[in-house]
Amino acid sequence: MRIAHKTTEVRSRIEPALKNKVVRYLNKYDMSLSHAIRLFMLEIIEHRGLPFDLRLRPGDREAIDEVEYAIKNPDKVKSYGSVEEMLKDIDKD
């Protein structure tokens, strides 16, 4: 006798190209995307957190700080009306 487990639906918005690439890898293991997500969730429980390290690359923290400063102080940073305007300004230097 097979025991039916209760399930719940998990929805996520993922870029189609990313999903397709992942599905191609999973097909090599005869694994569904749902099963891979379930395994990932089990790994989170096992590790009591993400099963991999999240690290900032050199310079990331500085870039994040600069963006946060610009958001909080829009009057103190230079802004442009278009990408073309910004590129012209960069080319002047």
Residue range 1-54, CATH number:
1.10.1220
Q: Does the predicted model carry a pTM greater than 0.75?
A: no
The per-residue pLDDT for 57 is 85
Residue given tokens 């719940």 in the structure block = 8
Angle at 16 between CA 14 and CA 19, to 5 degrees: 70
When pLDDT is cut at 50, 70 and 90, the band that residue 1 belongs to is low
Domain assignments of the chain as residue spans, ordered by start: 1-54, 60-92
Q: Rounded CA gap, 16 and 9, in Å?
A: 19
Our measurement of the distance from residue 26's CA atom to the centroid of its chain's CA atoms, rounded to an integer in Å, reads 19
The per-residue pLDDT for 5 is 77
